[in-house]
């Protein structure tokens, strides 16, 4: 339970991380905490101590009996108690953790372009904040269109991301992904994929691109901490081809 | 207290209303509930029963010993419990109410233009949602610039609103306010001011305008349920003149 005057509840004033846990052990914990610390700098919040956060993240699967196989650990950091847009001087952040069961990722996903855009003018578009309603509505819009995930542009019409994943595509056997300035979360798996590509001797470019870039793509895939790298089977009903590079990258991502 | 799996906390998935209460009685209750119902339609949530909401809203000042003078009542409606972007089929909305003391509104306010823009591509820009972090950051940016409130444009560069108020200005003795499509909340007081202007025989136009429109304005003012109509004394450090029409409108707004 959490107090009803918590700013995370009242105003979405806070951050979260979603970690994959395997056999009760949160994966890429350091990378997740580093990202949360970057988000704290944007929100001018004191970051949680990594030791305290690790204790929370490790205790959650244990408390939920999820110490075998895959589970998801959600870390939530709120800005503490206080009504109104301006935080009280004595507001103290709250850190919460919970664990839930999670199945294997689907082998592929269908995308639909949605009307809601990422607001790249706001730093909120580049952090994992508790103000996530645009993503909720984007996903619902995609579902309404018969797809499992949303393809979101930013307000300039550039490719950005999915509702809960980063976007990659392959053109001329090279990886492309929207630059962070396009209003994109710096995904933990996004970084891992770029590293994996480098190890495979493949270029990975962070670009500003319009949706037309996907029309000639050899393949499209999504990434996040829970799905790893997931091939896109269709975009707005048009089948998308596969490319061996996606499987090569997948097999290099530890834990997937 | 509220469960930690509440979607209002986890994802900003919900709505709120801020009502002025006078001597324990919430003002403009019907208008606030009608707006919450419109927000529920956007979020595909079952709206709360007005009777239940009224009971909550009336009980909150009582429970907090705020039955004399001005108080603020906050109604919060969350999408209920459930992890992940997609709501569980059995999610049931939660309605909460709380009351806090509030002083008289400041006689005037200074504005600063901020970098964060309203995302008019999202319906979230036109509802009072729990995903309010852009507003929190806009206010902080304005404070950092030595002002009390933020002037926000939308992503097309049009005038939109303040972090927690609607924007009006006077040109050629007529009222102007940004159209809702500019990414603006349909403020209860915004509507009241338009009505008051009509009663005074003054035109009130809902417009698409760039910041240059404010340079030649005879006066600028903000509106919300707590401040009524509040004159703007300065914009980015430049003094803003007063106009008798603002006071005439103020005096027509009951309860202010």
HEC string of B48-96?
A: CCHHHHHHHHHHHHHHCCCCCCEEEEEEEEECCECCCCCCCCCCCCEEE
B145 to chain A, minimum CA–CA distance in Å? 14
Residue A165: CA count within 13 A, CB half-sphere: 26
Say if the Cβ atoms of B119 and A134 lie within 8 Å. Answer: yes
Q: How far is CA A173 from CA A231, A255, B109, in A?
A: 15, 25, 57
| DSSP one-letter string for chain B | -B-TTBHHHHH--EEEEEEEEETTEETTHHHHHHHHHHHHHHHT-PPPPHHHHHHHHHHHHHHTT--SSEEEEEEEEE--B--SSSPPTT---EEEEEEEE--PPPS-EEEEE-S--B-TTSGGGGS-BS--HHHHHHHHHHHHTT-SEEEEEBTTS-EEEESSSEEEEEETTEEEEE-GGGT----HHHHHHHHHHHHTT--EEEE---THHHHT-SEEEEEETTTEEEEEEEETTEE----HHHHHHHHHSTT-
Q: Which two tokens stand for residue B21?
A: 């209460």
Phi–psi pair at B103, nearest 5 degrees = -85, -175
Report whether B88 contacts B81 (CB < 8 A).
yes
Element at A232 (helix H, strand E) = strand A228-235
Phi–psi pair at B111, nearest 5 degrees = -110, 150
Instruction: Give the whole-angstrom CA distance, residue B229 versus residue B244.
Output: 13
Alpha helices in chain A (DSSP H): 7-11, 29-43, 50-63, 133-144, 188-199, 212-215, 244-252
Contacts with A71 from chain B: Cβ below 8 Å: none
Return the residue matching tokens 């239940």.
B52
pLDDT, residue B255, reads 64
Contacts with B115 from chain A: Cβ below 8 Å: 121
Say if the Cβ atoms of B10 and A74 lie within 8 Å. Answer: yes
Task: Tell me what percent of the residues of chain B surpass a pLDDT of 70.
Answer: 99
B164 to chain A, minimum CA–CA distance in Å? 8
Nearest to B215 by CA among B194, B183, B239: B239
Residue in chain A nearest B153 by alpha carbon: A121
Query: Is residue B115 scored above 60 in pLDDT?
Result: yes
Say if the Cβ atoms of A139 and B9 lie within 8 Å. Answer: no
Instruction: Give the whole-angstrom CA distance, residue A60 versus residue A99.
Output: 5
Q: How many CB atoms lie within 10 A of CB B220?
A: 25
Q: How far is CA A64 from CA A22, A58, A123, B2, B4, in A?
A: 14, 11, 34, 19, 14
Say if the Cβ atoms of A9 and B4 lie within 8 Å. Answer: no
Of A4, A13, A83, the CB nearest to B1: A4
pLDDT digits 0-9 by tens, A91-122: 999 999 999 999 999 999 999 999 999 999 99
pLDDT, residue A20, reads 97
Query: Is residue A175 scored above 80 in pLDDT?
Result: yes
Q: Could you report the predicted ipTM of this complex, rounded to two decimals?
A: 0.96
Say if the Cβ atoms of B119 and A123 lie within 8 Å. Answer: no
pLDDT digits 0-9 by tens, A216-255: 999 999 999 999 999 999 999 999 999 999 999 999 996 6
Say if the Cβ atoms of B132 and A86 lie within 8 Å. Answer: no
pLDDT, residue B77, reads 98
CA triple B234-B237-B243, angle to 5 deg: 20
pLDDT, residue A26, reads 96
Burial degree of B238 (CB within 10 A; 0-12, 13-18, 19+)? exposed
Q: Which of A3, A7, A12, A182 to mutate to test the interface with B (most CBs of B within 10 A)?
A: A12
pLDDT category, B256, cuts 50, 70, 90? low
The SS3 assignment for A29 reads: helix
Query: Is residue A40 scored above 60 in pLDDT?
Result: yes
pLDDT category, A256, cuts 50, 70, 90? low
Say if the Cβ atoms of A12 and B115 lie within 8 Å. Answer: no
A-B interface: how many C-beta pairs under 8 angstroms? 161
Contacts with B122 from chain A: Cβ below 8 Å: 116-117, 119, 134, 137
Instruction: Give the whole-angstrom CA distance, residue A9 versus residue B74.
Output: 12
A113 to chain B, minimum CA–CA distance in Å? 14
pLDDT, residue B107, reads 95
Instruction: Give the whole-angstrom CA distance, residue B88 versus residue A157.
Output: 32
Say if the Cβ atoms of B131 and A83 lie within 8 Å. Answer: no
pLDDT, residue A208, reads 98
Phi–psi pair at B229, nearest 5 degrees = -115, 120
Nearest to A224 by CA among A255, A181, A182: A255
pLDDT, residue A255, reads 64
Return mean pLDDT, chain B. Answer: 96
Instruction: Give the whole-angstrom CA distance, residue B82 versus residue B101.
Output: 33
A114 to chain B, minimum CA–CA distance in Å? 10
Say if the Cβ atoms of A121 and B117 lie within 8 Å. Answer: yes
Nearest to A164 by CA among A197, A194, A182, A140: A140
Return the residue matching tokens 């004394």.
B233
Residue in chain A nearest B140 by alpha carbon: A86
3-class SS letters over A157-172: CCEEEECCCEEEEEEC
Q: Which two tokens stand for residue B237?
A: 């450090």
pLDDT digits 0-9 by tens, B116-151: 999 999 999 999 999 999 999 999 999 999 999 999
Of B6, B13, B155, the CB nearest to A136: B13
Of B11, B116, B123, the CB nearest to A130: B11
Residue in chain B nearest A100 by alpha carbon: B83
């Amino acid at each position: 339970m959490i107090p009803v005057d918590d700013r995370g509840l009242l105003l979405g004033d806070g951050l979260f991380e979603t970690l994959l846990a395997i056999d009760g052990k949160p994966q890429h914990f350091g990378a997740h905490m580093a990202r949360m610390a970057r988000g704290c700098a944007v929100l001018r919040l004191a970051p949680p101590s990594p030791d305290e956060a690790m204790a929370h993240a490790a205790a959650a699967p244990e408390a939920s009996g999820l110490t075998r196989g895959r589970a998801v650990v959600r870390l939530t950091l709120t800005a503490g108690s206080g009504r109104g847009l301006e935080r009280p001087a004595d507001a103290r952040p709250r850190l919460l953790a919970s664990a839930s069961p999670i199945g294997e990722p689907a082998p592929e996903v269908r995308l639909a372009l949605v009307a809601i855009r990422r607001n790249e003018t706001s730093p909120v578009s580049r952090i994992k904040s508790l103000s996530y309603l645009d993503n909720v509505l984007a996903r619902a819009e995609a579902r309404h269109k018969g797809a499992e995930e949303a393809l979101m542009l930013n307000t300039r019409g550039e490719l950005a991301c999915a509702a809960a994943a980063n976007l990659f595509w392959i053109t001329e056997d090279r990886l492309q992904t929207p630059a962070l300035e396009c209003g994109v979360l710096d995904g933990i798996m996004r970084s891992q994929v770029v590293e994996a590509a480098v190890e495979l001797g493949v270029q990975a470019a962070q670009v500003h691109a319009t949706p037309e870039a996907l029309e000639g793509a050899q393949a499209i895939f999504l990434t996040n901490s829970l799905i790893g790298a997931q091939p896109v089977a269709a975009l707005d009903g048009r089948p998308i081809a596969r490319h061996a590079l996606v499987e090569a990258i997948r097999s290099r991502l530890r834990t997937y």
